[in-house]
């Protein structure tokens, strides 16, 4: 997975950009967000919070730099990866799911360390019923892009319902010295005729190595026992909710740039 680097100025622009929100949320949450904006503070319900640039993970920086518990304090919905690349992670309704080989889910302790994650507080959003048979092949979903006000903004996404097919993956635990991230590290599997929830983000193309452009979705079955990073799906009866996020915060903990493989 090789992407062109983004100039430093573009990254600073990405960090500073703000777009008008377009989301349906509880009245009190909306008032709190507006009051926070007036004080120059970004509400968790309008912010995408990320730990470490995605480019570090791509280059083999797999050592966890924050705990799952700390990530959870910044959002109840999102995606990530586990320490030493020991599976990928989903945050759904505040619960943490770790995807193991074969798509098996385990519920990790809050002390699990995480090298990369991106989360937000979910407060609802605009709804879109996906047509039966609609297919998604990561990372593009043009049918949904056509309904968004702009593709130059961050969106939190939540999809619930039934899928005819979900093609998924997770990563296998790696040993030091870590190599750069590559397809050979992934374990892939398929779910058929399955109910569950997908969470994730639609991010603009300009974030590139800073984060993950386009669609990034993780799936958990309705019984919470299986899941993975979504490589593709065929929808049967699926409701998608999307909510624009005007703020992006990148957290760089001490040592994040020094961990993992050498430069």
What's the pLDDT at 145? 97
C-alpha 80/C-alpha 170 separation (Å) is 11
Q: Is 78 left (phi over 0), alpha (psi -120 to 50) or beta?
A: left
Q: pLDDT under 70 in the chain at which residues?
A: 1-41, 255-263
Nearest alpha-carbon partner for 21 in 170, 153, 206: 153
Query: CA distances (Å), 5 to each of 57, 65, 117, 155, 208, in order?
Result: 14, 23, 20, 22, 7
Contact yes or no for 239/161 (Cβ under 8 A): yes
C-alpha 131/C-alpha 136 separation (Å) is 12
- Those residues whose C-beta lies under 8 Å from the C-beta of residue 182, and which sit 6 or more positions away, are 1
- Those residues whose C-beta lies under 8 Å from the C-beta of residue 22, and which sit 6 or more positions away, are 126, 149, 243, 244
Structure tokens at 48: 């995408």
What's the pLDDT at 173? 97
Beta strands per DSSP E along 146-246: 154-171, 186-203, 214-221, 227-245
C-alpha 233/C-alpha 168 separation (Å) is 9
Structure tokens at 104: 């098996």
What's the pLDDT at 45? 83
- Those residues whose C-beta lies under 8 Å from the C-beta of residue 160, and which sit 6 or more positions away, are 196, 197, 198, 238, 239
What's the pLDDT at 255? 62
Query: CA distances (Å), 252 to each of 134, 201, 244, 248, in order?
Result: 38, 20, 24, 13
C-alpha 11/C-alpha 9 separation (Å) is 5
C-alpha 69/C-alpha 114 separation (Å) is 10
Contact yes or no for 206/6 (Cβ under 8 A): yes
């Amino acid at each position: 997975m090789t992407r062109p680097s983004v100039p430093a100025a573009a990254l600073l622009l990405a960090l500073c950009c703000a777009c008008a929100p377009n989301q349906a949320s509880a009245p009190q949450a909306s008032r709190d967000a507006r009051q926070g904006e007036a004080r120059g503070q970004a509400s968790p319900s309008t912010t995408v919070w990320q730990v470490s640039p995605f480019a570090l993970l791509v280059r083999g920086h797999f050592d966890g730099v924050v705990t799952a518990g700390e990530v959870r304090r910044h959002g109840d919905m999102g995606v990530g990866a586990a320490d030493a690349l020991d599976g990928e992670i989903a945050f759904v309704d505040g619960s943490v799911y770790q995807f193991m080989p074969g798509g098996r889910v385990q519920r990790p302790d809050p002390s699990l360390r995480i090298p990369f994650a991106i989360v937000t507080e979910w407060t609802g959003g605009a709804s879109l019923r996906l047509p039966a048979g609609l297919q998604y092949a990561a990372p593009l979903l043009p049918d949904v892009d056509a309904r968004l006000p702009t593709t130059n903004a961050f969106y939190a996404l939540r999809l619930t319902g039934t899928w005819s097919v979900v093609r998924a993956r997770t990563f296998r635990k790696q040993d030091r010295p870590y190599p750069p991230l590559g397809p050979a590290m992934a374990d892939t599997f398929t779910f058929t005729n399955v109910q569950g929830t997908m969470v994730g983000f639609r991010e603009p193309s300009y974030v590139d190595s800073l984060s993950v452009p386009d669609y990034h979705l993780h799936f958990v079955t309705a019984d919470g026992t299986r899941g993975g990073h979504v490589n593709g799906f065929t929808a049967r009866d699926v409701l998608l909710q999307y909510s624009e996020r005007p703020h992006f915060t990148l957290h760089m903990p001490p040592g994040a740039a020094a961990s993992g493989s050498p430069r």
